[in-house]
Amino acid sequence: MEIPVIRSVFESNEKRAHKVREQLTKRGILTLNMISSPGAGKTTVLEHTLADLAKEFSIAVIEGDLQTDNDARRIAKSGVQVVQINTEGGCHLESSMIQNCFDNLTLDNLDILIIENVGNLVCPVEFDLGEDAKIALLSVTEGDDKPEKYPLLFQLAKVLLITKTDLLPYVDFSMDKAIHYATRNNPDLCTIPVSSTQNTGFDPWYAWIRKAVADKKHHTASPNLS
């Protein structure tokens, strides 16, 4: 008896996500949906990314969390536009929430919109937010089997950032196994190990972003390209 209700929720989200994607694509804005379990380092990676790229690109951030504006206040220090969404116990963001944020963002001349989703490896993956790419994060402290146990995110993501690599000497984590599990059903997944503490591994991540921004603007300017 619950199936029609669930289907209705997903269909409503998909329709709104389509509208969100249309609005952002019309402006040539690259939109990234960052998803991970709690504590994987999304906000810290985002702080590093903004510190290095905010002068190169116009970037806005939507922060999703159950409670508090702690992460939004951290991100605001970088000087970019930031909007906080509190889900009040909800385990994911939905496309309607993203669209509602547009009233508090200046989208004109924006290059990149980054959505930091609620910390969860399951629920956020199933909800399209109108993004161009899902960005998965996996910390070495979580174990190398997470892509095998929670496969959908890693199947749908375009980039996997493996975080906290400075802790590799102290944890039982095989980089080879993690990458194998993550890419087994997604051979095109771009895997990038990073350490925010040591500030290492970020150049390939920035290179991916630069190419994605260029591709987005190129396809926006040439909408008939396949």
Kindly list the distances between the CA atom of residue 65 and the CA atoms of 39, 48, 201, in Å, as whole numbers in the listed order: 12, 20, 27
Quick check: 82 pLDDT over 70?
A: yes
The predicted pLDDT at position 4 comes to 61
Quick check: 17 pLDDT over 60?
A: yes
> What residues contact residue 145 under an 8 Å CB cut-off, 6+ apart?
177, 178, 181
The predicted pLDDT at position 220 comes to 82
Q: Which residues of 107-144 are buried (b: 16+ CB within 10 A; e: fewer)?
A: eeebbbbbbbbbbbbeebbebbbbbbbbbbbbbbbbbb
Give SS3 for 173: coil
Report the predicted TM-score, pTM, of the whole model to 2 decimal places: 0.93
The predicted pLDDT at position 61 comes to 98
* Mean of pLDDT values over 124-141: 97
The predicted pLDDT at position 6 comes to 59
The predicted pLDDT at position 226 comes to 41
Under a CB-based contact definition with an 8 Å cutoff, are residues 164 and 187 in contact?
no
The predicted pLDDT at position 195 comes to 98
* Mean of pLDDT values over 203-213: 98
Give 220's Cβ-side CA count (13 Å radius).
Answer: 18
User: How confident is the model over 62-71, as pLDDT tens digits?
Assistant: 999 999 999 9
The predicted pLDDT at position 3 comes to 52
Quick check: 225 pLDDT over 60?
A: no
The number of beta carbons lying within 10 Å of the beta carbon of residue 216 is 21
* Mean of pLDDT values over 17-34: 97
Share of the chain above pLDDT 90, in %: 90
What angle is formed at CA 165 by the lines to CA 159 and CA 168, rounded to 5 degrees? 135
The predicted pLDDT at position 9 comes to 80
Domains belonging to the chain, first-starting first, are 3-221 (3.40.50.300)
* Mean of pLDDT values over 136-156: 98
Quick check: 142 pLDDT over 60?
A: yes
Quick check: 221 pLDDT over 70?
A: yes
Locate the DSSP E strands across 21-116.
Answer: 30-35, 59-65, 81-86, 112-116
* Mean of pLDDT values over 151-180: 98
* Mean of pLDDT values over 162-178: 98
Q: What are phi and psi of 31, to 5 degrees?
A: -120, 125
* Mean of pLDDT values over 129-150: 98
Under a CB-based contact definition with an 8 Å cutoff, are residues 111 and 30 in contact?
yes
* Mean of pLDDT values over 162-168: 98
The number of beta carbons lying within 10 Å of the beta carbon of residue 96 is 15
